[in-house]
Amino acid sequence: MYLTNESGKVYYHFHGPEDAPTVVFSHGVAMDHRTFNDQVSALEKDYRVIVWDMPYHGRSWGIDRDLRFSKTAADFLIAILDELAIDQATLAGLSLGSLVTQEAAYRYPNRVNACVHISGGPLYPKYSPILIAMIPMITLSMKLYPFTPLKKAFAEHKALADETKAYLMETVSQTGKDMITHLTNEMVRDMVIGIPEPNTQPSLIVYGDHDIRFLRNMSIKWHQRQPNSQLVEIKNAHHILNQDNPAAFNAALLSFLAEIRNA
């Protein structure tokens, strides 16, 4: 299905009973809704599961580059809930999708009952404006990096499983180097802009044991600062941990969702 508004057009689809609790999954840079195929299969019997292609990805259209990506994507996400007449949902975001989840939870707190952050980073507290200086360096380095080895490096940096790497090689090819550069720069801007206070919804923070040390440490500190949060390390998994080790991730996710459902 497609949702169209003044900002653009995005693709989404849903599974599961209409009267069940809703979970919405938002993917990372240069991915699409298929990132969460294993989670759809695990949840669709007992939950209403929504997956979508964020702007510039998969079957969705682009948006005006002057628009803040995460804020605009958060608006799209809530618009999807409106179109399906869903009052409240649990939002699960991977990497860039975690930033979108935080934006939505901050800007629409009554629509979000819980958050799941997969290989994400906090928008509160905001980061130093000095990070903005990285944007020209990111742009130049991406411009100079040949696309074929870039695709391989991207996959190797994000995944352990061969099938996950193959998926990333495909989606990176579709997204293109220019757009990956733009979205990476948008993530840096988001981190500097931040949100003025932490999300208060119950949160599950999940990271892979093979992810970069910076992100692992950041996840631990995030959990320590974030009220009402849980922290889970997924073994034998890199950044795209829900594909590298779907069984372990699904077990942690289902346990968290059951707590939220029974609260």
What pLDDT, in 10s, does the model give residues 96-119? 999 999 999 999 999 999 999 999
Q: What is the mean pLDDT of the chain?
A: 96
Nearest to 109 by CA among 85, 88, 131: 88
Q: Which CATH number does the domain housing residue 70 bear? A: 3.40.50.1820
Residue 229 has a pLDDT of 98
Q: How many CB atoms lie within 10 A of CB 111?
A: 17
Query: Contact 71/107 with Cβ under 8 angstroms?
Result: yes
Residues 6+ apart with CB under 8 A from 258: none
Residue 245 has a pLDDT of 98
3-state secondary structure of 91: strand
Asked whether residue 263 carries a pLDDT value surpassing 90, the answer given is no
The count of domains in the chain is 1
What pLDDT, in 10s, does the model give residues 32-79? 999 999 999 999 999 999 999 999 999 999 999 999 999 999 999 999
Place of tokens 């990176």: 172
The boundaries of the domain holding residue 172 are: 2-262
pLDDT-derived band at 86 (thresholds 50, 70, 90) equals very high
> Which letter does DSSP use for residue 8 in this model?
E
Query: Contact 157/220 with Cβ under 8 angstroms?
Result: no
What pLDDT, in 10s, does the model give residues 73-85? 999 999 999 999 9
What pLDDT, in 10s, does the model give residues 115-151? 999 999 999 999 999 989 889 999 999 999 999 999 9
